[in-house]
């Protein structure tokens, strides 16, 4: 009779162990399912990031086509309208220009500048910045570039630089802002790329 309590205790312990073992297996199963869900989410996130990168690449390509297919072909005619170009001079347009500083950049200057399009005639160089959506900071960045452009293009040391921003659509506020800075504004109007500056516009030469 004295062993019965121990047997009952052992049986109770075994039942508790079995219960704990079942709960442990259940917890491990839940954890494994959670890990699997997390892995699936990670894969989905990676796929989403891959799609986003591809879409950004497509946007970049489309912007490149805006410059090369729409803006650049009109730059020679625009430049002739703006300044006195020699009649017999052929105006070449370079797109996606990247230029390293030929020496040691001064404080605040970049090692390399990138320009959407450039055109030169006579003693003038036009630097174009094209954006799918033009913003104030793009105009400001172009102004900063124009103040140091001669340092990156010593072959144009004695030329005067003109700034030009372009987009398919440019709001009135941005046109007025660029107008005050002496920058040319190009935009789509009546199906054509046109200069859309205000009547009081005066080019600023850098």
Among 77, 202, 46, 72, CA closest to 128: 72
Q: pLDDT for 105-155, tens place per residue? A: 777 778 899 999 999 999 999 999 999 889 999 999 999 999 999 999 999
Res 55: pLDDT: 65
Task: Report yes or no: 138 and 181 within 8 Å, Cβ to Cβ.
Answer: no
Percent of the chain's residues with pLDDT above 90: 52
pTM for this predicted structure: 0.67
For 159, the token pair is: 């030329």
Kindly give the pairing relationship between strand 93-100 and strand 112-121: antiparallel
pLDDT of 166 > 80? The answer is yes
Helices 172-181 & 136-152 angle (0-180, nearest 10): 30
How would DSSP label each residue in 27-67? Answer: HHHHHHHHHHHHHHHHHHHHHHHHHHHHHHHHHHHHHHHII
Q: pLDDT for 42-86, tens place per residue? A: 777 777 777 777 666 566 555 556 667 788 899 999 999 999 999
């Amino acid at each position: 009779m004295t062993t019965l309590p121990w047997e009952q205790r052992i049986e109770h312990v075994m039942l508790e162990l079995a219960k704990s073992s079942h709960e442990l297996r259940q917890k491990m199963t839940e954890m494994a399912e959670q890990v699997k869900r997390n892995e699936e989410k990670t894969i989905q996130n990676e796929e989403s990031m891959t799609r986003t990168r591809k879409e950004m690449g497509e946007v970049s390509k489309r912007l490149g086509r805006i410059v090369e297919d729409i803006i650049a072909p009109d730059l020679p005619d625009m430049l002739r309208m703006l300044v006195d170009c020699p009649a017999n001079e052929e105006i070449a347009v370079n797109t996606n220009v990247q230029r390293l500083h030929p020496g040691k950049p001064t404080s605040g200057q970049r090692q390399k500048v990138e320009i959407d399009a450039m055109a030169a005639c006579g003693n003038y160089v036009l630097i174009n910045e094209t954006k799918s959506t033009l913003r104030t900071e793009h105009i400001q960045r172009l102004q900063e570039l124009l103040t140091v452009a001669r340092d990156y293009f010593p072959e144009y040391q004695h030329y005067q630089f003109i700034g030009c921003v372009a987009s398919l659509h440019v709001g009135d506020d941005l046109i007025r802002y660029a107008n005050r800075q002496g920058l040319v504004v190009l935009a789509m109007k009546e199906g054509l790329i046109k200069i859309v500056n205000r009547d009081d516009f005066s080019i600023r030469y850098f």
